[in-house]
Structure 1
Amino acid sequence: MTSPYTVRAVVEEVTALGPFFAVQAHPPGTEPPGPWQPLSRPLLEARVTGVRDSLAAAGGQPPGAVETRVAASVAHLGLAARLVSPALAAAVLHGLVLASGLADLRWQPVIGGPGPLSLPGDAFTDGHADSPTGIADELSSRLLDGPLRELADAMAEFSVSRHILWGNTASAVNGAATMITSSRPELSARTRTLTSLLLERSPLREAGTTTPDGTFRRRSCCLIYRAAPDRNGALCGDCALSR
């Protein structure tokens, strides 16, 4: 495990990459004061409802016009991005892997942007920094099969298919990599190598594909187009439905 001092330094460097990377740290085994909360079922329900209301308002529609599964998918994509972004950045910058489970993380119920995220001070562990393959293996077992799978399990209860949920996760990985390379161009090669290795691992292997020119395309859709009037909204750039 990294020392508390190292964790603070990592948090500062990761947070500097942008809003989706911003994290705080709380002492391991302690409960940070409100408004920090665990990602409970009530918190997820409130987030899905808030996202549905926001999507409906953007289209000038009543909340009931937006399907719950659409709002849940969009909410999941945002939460997955909040988990993936700092985790990938720590791996790229320092060869560290987020080893905490979903129950160890704390959130603030904010709608309309990246929700505040706090990690326990012992959240990161050494991911074999001398080997990108070793780091990708650790990320797969500790992150993909850890809090990201737990998050997918929780969001699947809102009638969102696993195919869509893992597509959201793969899209979040690619999006985080794009933001890292934009902010820190000198990290481009390392970021893309690690991202490619991670996207090759199950269940992300089945969730998307990367073309020879490096363009990522998911094999599913986050469904956000269905939130617009007549379910005729714009598609995301990496959507399987885009042509």
Structure 2
Amino acid sequence: MNPAPEQPRPDYARLAAVGPYFALDTDPTGPPPPGFRPLPELYGTGPDAPLAARIRVVAQRLGTAELRVAASILHLGLAARFWSVGIGAAVLLGTVPTLEHAWVRIPDQGPIDLWTPPEPVRLASGDLVDQLHDAVLIGQLEPLAAAVRAAVPLSARLLRGNAASALVGTLRVLEPHAPGPARELVAQLLDRPPLKGSGTLLAGPRGAAFRRTSCCLYYRIGPGAGLCGDCCFTRPPARRQRNH
């Protein structure tokens, strides 16, 4: 009996063409570039942990003294980064990277850099929605939320809303490349726990739209910040309120 032909490894380099949030570097010949650290270290806790330090940097750049506002905005961006890699690979390559052995580098500006050695070719243990749920929601966003909450007190509901908002934001970027498959995957993810109930996916004149049931606190940056397009509020609440 002839052995089954070896399956080609996914060409993750294709993801970068969609945008910087989708990029996933891989190199089969050597270690990660200088400045990278194992991804699990990103989820460390304590005052000197990478996320705690980054929250303080984000607060300074936003000009806010409220660390919880900076923590929420940082979490939203990181969630978008992981969703972009996962959904992008699922739609464009038919696979989902687990990032089990990934490394990360935090640049001064822009999304975090992700590097991973080539993953072994493996048989899928479930459909793409199941793989995304396990690799992104369970594998990355759960420890990310725990690390953020260890640094700054934020409600779990707010962070679930951020994860859902970042997911739909990823869809809006990806829709021109694969509108049908991308929207179907996102709709299924929003319809299962833990994202179920975090908002409503809508069809807007410019593509996917979303109305979340929580607020990311962006309006608290300052009087002129306004509301995000998917906010649960129709006008900024009074600044004395602490809405999660």
Calculate the TM-score normalised by the size of structure 2: 0.80
Change (3 A) 1:189 1:241: same
Whole-angstrom CA distance in 2 between matches of 1:140 and 1:118: 21
CA contact (8 A) 1:207 1:218 kept: yes
Residue of structure 2 equivalent to 1:54? 61
Which residue identity does 2:87 align to in structure 1?
L
Identity of aligned residues (%): 37
**Alignment map for 1:209-220 (pairs within 5 Å):** 209-211=200-202, 215-220=209-214
Which 10-residue stretch deviates more, 213-222 or 87-96?
Answer: 213-222
Q: Choose the corresponding residue for 1:160, options 154, 159, 170.
A: 154
Residue of structure 2 equivalent to 1:146? 139
Whole-angstrom CA distance in 1 between matches of 2:143 and 2:209: 28
The CA deviation string for residues 92-144 of structure 1, in whole angstroms up to 9 with x for no partner, is 1122123234xx3322222432121223321886557xxxx921122113321
**Alignment map for 1:1-243 (pairs within 5 Å):** 6-7=9-10, 9=11, 11-26=12-27, 32-38=32-38, 39=42, 40-41=44-45, 42-56=49-63, 65-101=64-100, 104-122=101-119, 127=124, 134-157=127-150, 158-182=152-176, 184=177, 187-211=178-202, 215-229=209-223, 233-242=225-234
Alignment gaps of 5+ in structure 1: 57-64
Change (3 A) 1:54 1:148: same
Aligned residue for 2:196, secondary structure, equals: helix
Structure 1 residue 217: Cα displacement: 1.1
Aligned residue for 2:159, secondary structure, equals: helix
Which residue identity does 2:62 align to in structure 1?
L
Structure 1 residue 225: Cα displacement: 1.3
Greater relative contact order (CA < 8 Å, ≥ 6 in sequence)? 1
Which residue identity does 2:14 align to in structure 1?
E
Structure 1 residue 26: Cα displacement: 4.7
CA contact (8 A) 2:27 2:116 kept: yes
Whole-angstrom CA distance in 1 between matches of 2:121 and 2:75: 23
CA contact (8 A) 2:97 2:119 kept: no
Structure 1 residue 4: Cα displacement: 9.8
Aligned residue for 1:239, secondary structure, equals: coil
Structure 1 residue 167: Cα displacement: 0.8
Residue of structure 2 equivalent to 1:60? none
Which residue identity does 1:47 align to in structure 2?
R
Which residue identity does 1:50 align to in structure 2?
V
Query: Paired residues, what number?
Result: 219
Change (3 A) 1:126 1:114: farther
The structure with the largest helix share of the pair is 1
Alignment gaps of 5+ in structure 2: 1-5, 236-244
Which residue identity does 1:194 align to in structure 2?
L
CA contact (8 A) 2:52 2:148 kept: no
Calculate the TM-score normalised by the size of structure 1: 0.80
Aligned residue for 1:176, secondary structure, equals: helix
